[in-house]
């Protein structure tokens, strides 16, 4: 997020994520590849019209940009449905460089013999893993016949503390992350109800619900006195691992299972495939969030489906992490290399997306934020990690990408109807 005194962090988050999605979309369709965003088929009746209309705004902005710059668009931005799924269905990062193909079925993945055994244990929740809201478990199938032949998992979402700039750190320190100043309005909802000064640290999922009394629809295993702490308590009892306790000067971030799986898969070589398996009963969309998708695509593992929901406080790994094991130093090189590639692509996409926004139908109240974000990116352009840091900052303000895009872009002039496409 920019640190300009006049900036509006909420609008900037809208602009940053809209630009990232547009940059990604334009880079696809100018190479003749359509890109599709999917919604949960079970929300079809209540959301499809809105979803389709917002995707049309993306398409109009992207196609318009290419047309005005004499780049004939041959692909389009499409709206569709994520696959209907059953328990144990998977999202796959398809490593096209190694000749991997999009699987025929995401409900019955074709796995190695050892992979199948581990997959069944994860699907049947026989191993410790997070099974609460939005639970997907990362898993790597491994077809190697020599060397390390073991599949990897379960890799659940883990909550980490984002390292502080003054803490000595082994990986190159990226651009400093944005923490709202204490005077920011954003802290108001994070003040725990019935307290004078007890705030929920930045980044924590559910943190904006500290003013609410506990939600009676959810269980409250820790007898928390407010909804924010109730959500944290519930996540913990549902198996999420918390590495470190955030203080008010910390930022909490969450590394999704697919992301952990990609580092492991990359380390194992081209015979390994990263998966995310749906677990528990509270996970609905069989698709990757936008921040996961950006990471996956930047490394050549595009997901089988992308949704425009939330990727709240998404972070990549900054240190090797293996549940229940000490970190392995060989993984540092993998993390450094993959994070560098991701940072480079974030810079490409964000820069391109801001150019698209320059010529697109941006809403009046978001114009100034487009200028501010571009100025900040230009001013800090020598820092290669600034674009990725802006994306991480943006998703620390929790909202769906669909809402952000709909606030940033005006409805398209000519709304052609987009027919839903089904891949499965």
Using CB under 5 A as the criterion, which residues of the chain lie in contact with Zn ion when the complex forms?
Answer: 256, 289, 292
Nearest distance from C-beta of residue 305 to Zn ion, angstroms: 12
Label residues 290-327 b or e (16+ Cβ within 10 Å = b).
Answer: bbbbbbbbbbbbbbbbbbbbbbbbbbbbbebbeeeeee
Q: How far is the CB of 289 from Zn ion (least distance, A)?
A: 4
Taking the least distance from each CB to Zn ion, the nearer of 261 and 409 is: 261
Q: Which is nearer to Zn ion, 20 or 412 (CB)?
A: 20
Instruction: Please identify, using beta-carbon distances, which residue of 11 and 37 lies nearer to Zn ion.
Output: 37
User: Is 26 or 292 the residue whose CB approaches Zn ion more closely?
Assistant: 292
- Residue 79 CB, nearest approach to Zn ion (Å): 20
Candidates 278, 263, 384, 273; CA nearest to 316 is 263
Cα 284 versus chain centre, distance: 16
Give the nearer residue to Zn ion in terms of CB position, either 292 or 354: 292
- In the complex, minimum distance from the CB of residue 293 to Zn ion, in angstroms, rounded to a whole number: 8
Tally of CB atoms within 10 A around 368: 17
- 3-class SS at 325? strand
Closest CA relative to residue 216, chosen from 224, 206, 208: 224
What span, in angstroms and rounded, lies between the C-alpha atoms of 15 and 28?
20
Smallest distance, Zn ion to C-beta of residue 276, A: 8
Nearer to Zn ion, 75 or 203 (CB): 203
- The beta strands (E) that lie in 197-334 are given as 241-242, 252-255, 272-278
Q: Which residue is nearest to Zn ion (CB)?
A: 292
CB of 59 to Zn ion, least distance (A): 23
- Least distance from Zn ion to the Cβ atom of residue 312, Å: 9
Q: How many other C-beta atoms can be found within 10 angstroms of the C-beta atom of residue 88? A: 19
Using DSSP's 3-state secondary structure scheme, residue 386 falls into helix
Phi, psi of 32 (to 5 degrees): 70, 15
Q: How far is CA 316 from CA 60, 162, 319, 346, 411, in A?
A: 31, 10, 9, 13, 33
What value does the CA radius of gyration of the chain take, rounded to a whole number of Å? 21
Burial track 341-360 (b if 16+ CB lie within 10 A, e otherwise): ebbebbbebbbbbbbbbeeb
Phi, psi for 119 (deg, rounded to 5): -55, -45
Beta carbons within 10 angstroms of residue 165's beta carbon: 11
CB–CB of 164/249 below 8 Å? yes
The distance of closest approach from Cβ of residue 423 to Zn ion in the complex, given in angstroms and rounded to an integer, is: 19
Q: Helix, strand, or coil here: 401? A: helix
Distance (Å, whole) CA 231 – CA 28: 38
Which helix H or strand E contains 35, and what residues bound it? strand 35-39
For residue 324, the minimal CB distance to Zn ion (Å) is 22
Minimum distance, C-beta of residue 290 to Zn ion, in the bound complex (Å): 8
Nearer CB in complex with Zn ion: 15/315: 315
Residue nearer to Zn ion on the CB measure, 24 or 289: 289
CB nearer to Zn ion: pick between 59 and 283:
283
CB closer to Zn ion out of 136 and 376: 136
């Amino acid at each position: 997020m920019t640190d300009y005194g006049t900036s509006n962090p909420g609008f900037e988050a809208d602009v940053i994520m809209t630009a990232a999605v547009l940059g990604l979309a334009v880079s696809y369709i100018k190479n003749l590849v359509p890109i599709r965003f999917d919604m949960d088929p079970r929300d079809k009746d209540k959301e499809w019209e809105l979803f389709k209309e917002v995707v049309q705004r993306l398409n109009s902005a992207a196609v318009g940009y290419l047309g005005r710059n004499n780049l004939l668009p041959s692909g389009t931005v499409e709206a569709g449905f994520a696959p209907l799924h059953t328990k144990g269905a998977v999202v796959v990062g398809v490593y096209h460089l190694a000749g991997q193909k999009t699987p025929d079925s995401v409900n019955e993945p074709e796995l190695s013999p050892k992979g199948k055994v581990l997959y069944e244990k994860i699907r049947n929740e026989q191993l410790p893993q997070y099974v609460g809201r939005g639970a997907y478990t990362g898993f790597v199938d491994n077809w190697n016949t020599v060397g390390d032949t073991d599949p990897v998992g379960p890799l659940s979402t883990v909550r980490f503390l984002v390292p502080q700039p003054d803490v000595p750190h082994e990986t190159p320190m990226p651009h400093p992350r944005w923490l709202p100043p204490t005077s920011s309005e954003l802290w108001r909802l994070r003040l725990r109800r019935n307290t004078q000064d007890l705030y929920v640290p930045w980044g924590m999922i559910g943190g904006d619900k500290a003013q609410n009394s506990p939600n009676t629809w959810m269980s409250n295993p820790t007898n928390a006195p407010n909804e924010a702490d109730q959500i944290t308590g519930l996540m913990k009892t549902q198996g999420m691992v918390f590495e470190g306790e955030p203080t008010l000067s910390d930022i909490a971030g969450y590394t999704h299972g697919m992301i952990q799986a990609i580092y492991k898969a990359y380390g194992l070589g081209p015979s390994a495939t990263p998966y995310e398996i749906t677990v528990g009963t509270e996970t609905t969309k069989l698709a990757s969030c936008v921040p996961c998708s950006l990471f996956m695509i930047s490394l050549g593992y595009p997901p089988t489906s992308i949704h425009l929901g939330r990727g709240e406080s998404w972070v990549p790994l900054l240190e090797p992490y293996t549940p229940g094991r000490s970190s392995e130093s060989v993984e540092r090189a993998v993390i450094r290399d993959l994070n560098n590639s991701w940072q480079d692509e974030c810079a490409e996409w964000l820069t391109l997306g801001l150019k698209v926004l320059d010529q697109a139908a941006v809403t009046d109240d978001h114009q100034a934020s487009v200028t501010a974000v571009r100025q900040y990116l230009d001013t800090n352009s020598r820092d290669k990690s600034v674009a990725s840091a802006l994306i991480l900052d943006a998703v620390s303000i929790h909202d769906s990408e669909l809402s952000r895009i709909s606030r940033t872009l005006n409805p398209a002039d000519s709304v052609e109807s987009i027919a839903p496409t089904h891949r499965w």
